[in-house]
Amino acid sequence: MRTLQLRVNGEPVAREIPDNRLLVDFLRYDLGLTGTKEGCSVGVCGACTVLLDGQPVSSCIALAVMADGCEVTTIEGLAEDDRLHPLQRAFIEYGGFQCGICTPGQIMAAKALLDVNPHPSKEEIQGWMMGNLCRCTGYYKIIESIQAAAEGKGVS
Amino acid sequence: MHAITYESPKSLAQALSLLSATGEKGRLLAGGTDLLIQMRAGVRKPEQLIDAKSIPELQVLSFNSQDGLRVGAAVPCCRLIEDPAVRQHYPGLVEAAGLIGSVQIQSRCSLGGNLCNGSPAADTTPALIALGAVCHVASSKGTRTVAVEDFVVSPGRTVLQADELLVEFRIPAPKPHSADCYQRFIPRNEMDIAVVGVGAAVTLNGDTCTAARISLGAVAPTPLFAKEAGASLVGKPLNESTIAAAAALAQQIAVPITDMRGTAEYRKHMVGVLTRRVLTTAAERARAK
Ligand code: FES
Ligand code: FES
């Protein structure tokens, strides 16, 4: 056991956890932040994507202790009060999700992309988002949503 | 997952003393993108994890035109891929590192983790072998160097003793008119394990090849250095027939298995195809320099 100290969505958090706690379980079960989903559990589907000091990581194959002293951003941290993040609004507006299970991971990966590349080409979006699987949408709408958010189209 | 203790040493000396105290029960954790999956599945059960990311000596990334490139074992691939000197001088290494997993994986995975995991299909290992990279290994008793091609001894096993850790890779400075290339074949676009991977590095003097190294992944219990295949090109021009002859020599040392990713015959065929492609591309890159 150890006391983990970090910031989650801008708020300081201190929690006692065992060393083998996975980051995804820490977020979902210790903090109740169930927006982050677990799909494949082997780092392949991207559903569990969160930002660790701004970098996209698969929280199913990260230990919570690895986030000690870091800033973690989850899907719950994107909206400001009642105002959804432009990516969230674009996914709604442009049909970027159906069942929604992959969506928090899609949006966190897309946020990481737009943070480093605010105006990505379609090919850059496709390359970056390759690690986020979706069984529903066929991907076209996800890419359209990210492009719309990047262009600030209809999502203000 | 089984119970573990996690340590994040703040120096190499501290890491080595932890490792000599825990021995077989301890294991270095780099990005965890292989190890944590294996631990979740119960395949590996280290009792103590020592976080390589916290050790400054394992985070070195520096290049100069005399000594070449130093890459700390735990440098995340995303940092390596974005480094301007690495992009300019070692495009094949960038290709290999860029093929590992998604951006989510690349922000954690490292050359050291990829090698120490000991997979015969690791993408960055053939790229490192082609470049003639050397591993610097340390224990509390001292240091030693091991060529990358000698590092993996069988699937999942390496030359590292229980008290040793991989500190960094040293990659020779690129000679004038030299270049490398790595390609792999997978049935999907991304997020898969190589069916076959081939790396090559060539040096030219005018039209004549003065040095060539070829390496193969996923076609034997360990990544392979195709020494004769590379040597066959030295002193000759790199053209269709010399490249085909080298590819045939590379095929000879491949001893692949048949599994869900492909048959042994198919893998052997692909060694020929990819060897020709990487040599052709490396030669084009070297000529353009
Ligand atoms: S649940 Fe983590 S990548 Fe699939
Ligand atoms: S919306 Fe259902 S998996 Fe993507």
Yes or no, beta carbons of A131 and B37 under 8 Å apart: no
Same domain, A94 and A137: yes
pLDDT grade, residue B103 (50/70/90)?
A: very high
Taking an 8 Å Cβ-Cβ cutoff, which residues of chain A contact chain B? 2, 18-20, 22, 41-44, 46, 49, 52, 55-58, 61-63, 65-66, 68, 109, 112-113, 128, 130-132
**pLDDT for residue A22:** 97
pTM over 0.80: yes
Q: Which residue of A has its CA nearest to B100?
A: A131
- Give the pLDDT mean for B93-116: 94
**pLDDT for residue B186:** 85
Q: Chain A within 8 Å of B78 (Cβ-Cβ)?
A: yes
Q: Is the CB of A25 under 6 A from ligand 1?
A: no
Question: Are B199 and B279 in contact, with CB atoms under 8 Å apart?
Answer: no
Which ligand sits nearest to residue A40's alpha carbon?
A: 1
Distance, CA of B95 to CA of B126 (rounded, Å): 11
Same domain, A39 and A63: yes
**pLDDT for residue A156:** 55
Q: Which residue of A has its CA nearest to B189?
A: A130
Question: Are A142 and A150 in contact, with CB atoms under 8 Å apart?
Answer: no
Same domain, A35 and A62: yes
**pLDDT for residue A89:** 96
Strand (E) or helix (H) holding B7? strand B5-7
Domain ranges of chain B: 5-119+134-171, 178-288
**pLDDT for residue B142:** 96
pLDDT tens, N- to C-terminus, chain A (156 residues): 899 999 999 999 999 999 999 999 999 999 999 999 999 999 999 999 999 999 999 999 999 999 999 999 999 999 999 899 999 999 999 999 999 999 999 999 999 999 999 999 999 999 999 999 999 999 999 999 999 999 987 565
Q: Per-residue pLDDT tens for B41-75?
A: 999 999 999 999 999 999 999 999 999 999 999 99
Q: Is residue A23 part of a domain?
A: yes
- Of the candidates B2, B51, B104, the beta carbon closest to that of A58 is on B104
Q: Is residue A156 part of a domain?
A: no
Q: Among A53, A77, A101, where does a domain finish?
A: A77
Yes or no, beta carbons of B191 and A131 under 8 Å apart: yes
pLDDT grade, residue B107 (50/70/90)?
A: very high
Q: Chain A within 8 Å of B156 (Cβ-Cβ)?
A: no
- Give the pLDDT mean for B7-33: 94
Q: Among A13, A48, A77, where does a domain finish?
A: A77
> Other C-beta atoms within 10 Å of A55: how many?
19
Yes or no, beta carbons of B104 and A131 under 8 Å apart: yes
Same domain, A65 and A14: yes
Query: Which one, of B115, B107, B57, lies nearest residue B79 by Cα?
Result: B107
Report the DSSP beta bridge partners of residue A52.
Answer: A55, A72
- Give the pLDDT mean for B11-25: 94
Domain assignment of residue A62, given as a range: 2-77
What would the two tokens of residue B258 be? 């048949």
How high does pLDDT run on average in chain B?
A: 95
Q: What is the CATH number of the domain that holds A61?
A: 3.10.20.30
Task: Return contacts of A112-118, CB within 8 angstroms, 24+ apart.
Answer: A112/A49, A112/A51, A112/A54, A112/A55, A112/A56, A112/B103, A113/A146, A113/B103, A114/A87, A114/A146, A114/A149, A114/A150, A115/A54, A118/A150
pLDDT grade, residue B163 (50/70/90)?
A: very high
Counting ligand 2 atoms within 8 A of each CB, the residue from A37, A97, A132 with the most, and so the one to mutate, is A97
> How high is the ipTM of this complex?
0.91
Q: What is the CATH number of the domain that holds A139?
A: 1.10.150.120
Pick the CATH number of B5-119+134-171 from 3.30.465.10, 3.40.50.1000, 3.40.50.1370, 3.30.110.60: 3.30.465.10
B178-288: CATH number: 3.30.390.50
Using DSSP's 3-state secondary structure scheme, residue B91 falls into helix
Q: Per-residue pLDDT tens for B265-288?
A: 999 999 999 999 999 999 999 999
Q: Is the CB of A108 under 6 A from ligand 1?
A: no
**pLDDT for residue B193:** 84
Count: domains in chain A: 2
**pLDDT for residue A155:** 61
Q: Among A55, A77, A99, where does a domain finish?
A: A77
Q: How far is the CA of A62 from the centre of ligand 1 (A)?
A: 10
Query: Which one, of B40, B3, B8, lies nearest residue B25 by Cα?
Result: B3
Q: Per-residue pLDDT tens for B185-234?
A: 988 777 778 889 999 999 999 999 999 999 999 999 999 999 999 999 99
